[in-house]
Amino acid sequence: MKIKIHKVLVLLFCLSNTVCFSQKQQTKDKKLAKANAEYENFSFVKAGKLYEQLVNKGYDSKEIYARLGDTYFFNADYYNALQWYTKMMEDVTSAPSEYYYRYSVCLRANDQHEEGLAVMNAYYKKEGKEDEAKKWDPVTYLKAIAAQSDRYDNLSQAGINSPFSDFGAALVPNEEAVKQSLKIAQVEKSDKDRIIRENAEKRRNDDGNKLGAKREILVQEKKKENQEKFIVNSKESDSKNNDFLILSSEKLPKYKEVIYATAKDSGFFKRKHNWSEKAFLKLYTAQIDEDGNLHNAKKLSGDVNSKYHQSTPVITSDGLTMYFTRLVVYDKIKNKAKNKKAISNLKIFQAQKVNNKWGDVKELPYPINVEGTSSAHPALSANNDDLYFVSNRKKKTNDTDLYVVSRKKGGGFANKAEPLGEEINTYGRETFPFVDNSDVLYFSSDGHPGLGGLDIFAAVKDEEGKYIVANVGEPINSTSDDFAYSIDSDSKRGFFSSNRKGGTGDDDLYTFLETKAISFPFKLNPVYSGTVKDSISGQKLRGVEVTIFNDLKEKIKTIYSDESGEFSVDLEPLKNYTFEFKKKGYTTEKIAAKGIKIGEKKEIQAVLFNELEVVVGNQVLTLKEGDNLTEKLKLKPIYFDYGGYTLRKSSKLELDKVINLLKIRPSISILVKSHTDSRGKDDYNLRLSKNRAKTTMDYIVLEGGIEQDRVWGDGYGESQLINKCSNNVQCSEAEHELNRRSEFIIVIKE
């Protein structure tokens, strides 16, 4: 008989509810008394052997058949359990509810789905829940499972399986990738702040403030943005100063390692658990290769492993905190005689990573661990705000439900843990939760319609906040126990555990590649939608190019606003995006959007500014080719001292206004025309005006950060006087000064 250690963890919750049909035990027979004692002490292998010896001697008892079935069921041997449960149920008009449930599990695990349905119908009738039986129609649920199947490739054993139990591969955040993501977040925040400031500056300029009254503080970075991806390669970083991180275009893998539980012998004297007569579980690490396989298994360093069971860890996204399951054994009555029974409960513990080792191990407080009950198999939400776990605290049958409790930002947990509700929790066992990066909840259950034993299910909340549950299908699920699912939502590679035929040991780790997302009867991805409007008229703009970028500045997709100026797109949940809006003749706008959860919606309202419309005072002006900005923007003339071409301080303030306009209106270029008065020789004045044109252009390009190809000009000497003050005409100094000027003529950039 192959003993499945994972079943020990699932059924350690069942400490008292293995009652039989009668309280009258045939205690006169010493062997029966010994078998009952072993059974009640959860030594199911020993108990099973003794019960079978009694049956072979002629004992014909429904109670013994029930307990024999239990000894196999509790160790996931559904084939042998079915033989004894069948004998137990022969000619029985009524049995405890849990035996209908266990019998149905065994029938389905042995591919007898019609018979399993009949037993479940009997169970639901006994429980007064006839409506529940509808979901157990084999035609219906097997068709639903088939629809979700064949979404996986490269399913194989993970490469580190032993002849014992190996299961529960927890993904460990890659330390270098964590540093990378932190740097990306810093860049993203800086970029978001810059976008907000730029947009605010545009609005100030277009809302009637004196155009460019204050110089733009921000450095022009658009060319640089288009050329770089802000990704940190921390391997090349300065080890003494983490502020100096090298940027590269390579994205680091989020996970390079797993921590898993194994019962393989870790010493000469191997401790065994009475339940299964197998070694206690210890936590090991293994490396993930490029194909998703595991190798280089090593015992986890630090203080996490104790002399009893450890299993099912989960690590926070920063890689510094681990929650895990540990078997706690203590005397039933403290400080009493040593021969008192020992009580075992599963508890959830916490460990901290210090100097690359796990230590500072502590048992979590109430409401995670509750005295006299078991809690196990922790999992974290995608944002790490919630802790999911398994407990038997409110189950009459002592089977398990899923619970969730909020983590406090300053440390600790909320005062109450909530069960996930009847959409998730059933009469049977819900166990081994996992939440992926998109906040999809995965768990194992034998209380939802499945192929037999424990099946893996996925659940998300619909628009009303209710969980929708779907079987993940074959080949992940089989007629055996399938459990402890985990997946990297980016690479789509993952792991699960199973005791299916053809494995290496009792429980084995498997690796897979998900090629298609699971289907739900509603949109799984959150929806981003909105409208695009003209800033002046408020008119909705059609045909606006909307490009979505992720936080690595990588283009995700491009869509266009429709006839009503509206757009809509579904994107992956819990990821941050930047929306870029482009339309010919309008400014390009960027809006940063924080990630939202599955099923949620986000409205984005974009306002585009007409490239050729500006607000001066309370008046909206439309610019056109050939317009003189000095006149349109009511700029003060750019004057020069007599015989000089150095910009005055007052002139720089006026040029800053031109620079700001060019920044917020990238389709506009300018022709700089510089002039002199009539005094002096013609050739001298021509050279002087050309110098003045160069000085003006240099300031716009070098100081203002405007692209060189958008600014050009020339000097015209005294050839374009604007008053009567030509050669030999008597004029005042003020009149001559009017001719020493620079003009800015609009050129529309196609």
Q: Characterize the bridge pairing of strands 441-445 and 493-498.
A: unpaired
Residue of 72, 95, 82 whose CA lies nearest to 19:
95
Tell which of 130, 148, 166 closes a domain: 148
| Residue 409 resides in a domain | no
Residues 6+ away with beta carbon under 8 Å from 20:
62, 63, 66, 67
Give 14's pLDDT tier (boundaries 50, 70, 90): very low
- Rounded Cα distance, 581 and 108, in Å: 55
Q: What is the mean pLDDT of residues 278-290?
A: 89
Which of the given ranges, 113-122, 248-257, 289-298, has the highest pLDDT on average?
289-298
Residues 6+ away with beta carbon under 8 Å from 161:
503, 504, 505, 508, 509
DSSP string for residues in 381-408: -TTS-EEEEEE-TT-TT---EEEEEEBP
Domain at 537, CATH number: 2.60.40.1120
**Residue 276 reports pLDDT greater than 50:** no
Contact 485, 494 (CB under 8 A): yes
Contact 231, 184 (CB under 8 A): yes
Residue of 135, 168, 6 whose CA lies nearest to 471:
135
Per-residue model confidence (pLDDT) at position 41: 76
| Residue 154 resides in a domain | no
Q: Cα 239 vs. chain centroid, distance in angstroms?
A: 29
Residues 6+ away with beta carbon under 8 Å from 178:
317, 318, 319
117 CB neighbour count, 10 Å cutoff: 20
Q: What is the mean pLDDT of residues 391-400?
A: 74
- Residue 470's DSSP bridge partners are 458
- Print the domain residue range for 82: 5-148
Helix (H, G, I), strand (E, B) or coil at 341: coil
pTM: 0.68
Residue 18 shares a structural domain with residue 143: yes
As a whole number of Å, the end-to-end CA separation of the chain is: 79
- Rounded Cα distance, 621 and 557, in Å: 35
Per residue in 584-599, pLDDT tens? 888 889 999 988 877 7
Contact 706, 663 (CB under 8 A): yes
Number of domains composing the chain? 4
Residue 141 shares a structural domain with residue 28: yes
Minimum mean pLDDT range among 195-204, 429-438, 457-466, 572-581: 195-204
Quote the mean pLDDT of the chain. Answer: 82
Cα–Cα–Cα angle for 725, 730, 734, rounded to 5 degrees: 65
Per residue in 653-671, pLDDT tens? 889 999 988 887 888 899 9
Q: What is the mean pLDDT of residues 205-230?
A: 35
Q: What is the mean pLDDT of residues 216-227?
A: 33
The DSSP call for residue 504 is: S
Q: Characterize the bridge pairing of strands 467-471 and 455-461.
A: antiparallel
- Rounded Cα distance, 438 and 575, in Å: 8
Helix (H, G, I), strand (E, B) or coil at 71: helix
- Rounded Cα distance, 3 and 20, in Å: 23
- Rounded Cα distance, 630 and 615, in Å: 15
Tell which of 228, 248, 268 closes a domain: 248
* φ/ψ of residue 361, rounded to 5: -75, 130
**Residue 376 reports pLDDT greater than 80:** yes
| Residue 26 resides in a domain | yes
Residue 16 shares a structural domain with residue 143: yes
- Rounded Cα distance, 559 and 545, in Å: 6
- Rounded Cα distance, 231 and 178, in Å: 12
Give 574's pLDDT tier (boundaries 50, 70, 90): confident
- Rounded Cα distance, 668 and 131, in Å: 70
Per-residue model confidence (pLDDT) at position 396: 54
Residue 129 shares a structural domain with residue 21: yes
| Residue 220 resides in a domain | yes
| Residue 725 resides in a domain | yes
Residue 14 shares a structural domain with residue 130: yes
Residue 30 shares a structural domain with residue 91: yes
**Residue 749 reports pLDDT greater than 90:** no
Per residue in 331-362, pLDDT tens? 554 434 334 455 678 999 999 998 889 999 99
For helices 78-89 and 62-73, angle between their N-to-C axes, nearest 10 degrees: 160
Per residue in 497-534, pLDDT tens? 999 999 998 899 999 999 998 888 766 778 899 999 99
Residue 19 shares a structural domain with residue 136: yes
Residue 531 shares a structural domain with residue 590: yes
Q: Characterize the bridge pairing of strands 601-608 and 527-534.
A: parallel
Higher pLDDT, 366 or 222: 366
Percent of the chain residues topping a pLDDT of 90 = 46
Domain at 644, CATH number: 3.30.1330.60
Q: What is the mean pLDDT of residues 153-161?
A: 94
Contact 736, 679 (CB under 8 A): yes
548 CB neighbour count, 10 Å cutoff: 18
Per-residue model confidence (pLDDT) at position 225: 37
Residues 6+ away with beta carbon under 8 Å from 491:
253, 254, 292
Helix (H, G, I), strand (E, B) or coil at 646: coil
| Residue 126 resides in a domain | yes
Residue 595 shares a structural domain with residue 682: no
**Residue 689 reports pLDDT greater than 70:** yes
- Rounded Cα distance, 119 and 369, in Å: 35
Residue 22 shares a structural domain with residue 57: yes
Per-residue model confidence (pLDDT) at position 199: 57
637 CB neighbour count, 10 Å cutoff: 17
Per-residue model confidence (pLDDT) at position 212: 34
Give 464's pLDDT tier (boundaries 50, 70, 90): confident
Tell which of 564, 584, 608 closes a domain: 608
Q: In sequence order, which ranges of 209-361 are alpha helices (DSSP H)?
A: 222-227
- Rounded Cα distance, 227 and 577, in Å: 19
DSSP string for residues in 191-247: HHHHHHHHHHHHHHHHTTS-TTSS---SPP-HHHHHH---EE-GGGS-TT-TTS--E
Minimum mean pLDDT range among 33-42, 58-67, 245-254, 400-409: 245-254
Residue 109 shares a structural domain with residue 211: no
Residue 27 shares a structural domain with residue 88: yes
Q: In sequence order, which ranges of 539-667 are alpha helices (DSSP H)?
A: 629-632, 649-664
| Residue 144 resides in a domain | yes
Give 438's pLDDT tier (boundaries 50, 70, 90): confident
Q: Characterize the bridge pairing of strands 566-570 and 255-262.
A: unpaired
| Residue 167 resides in a domain | no
- The identity of residue 721, as a single letter, is L
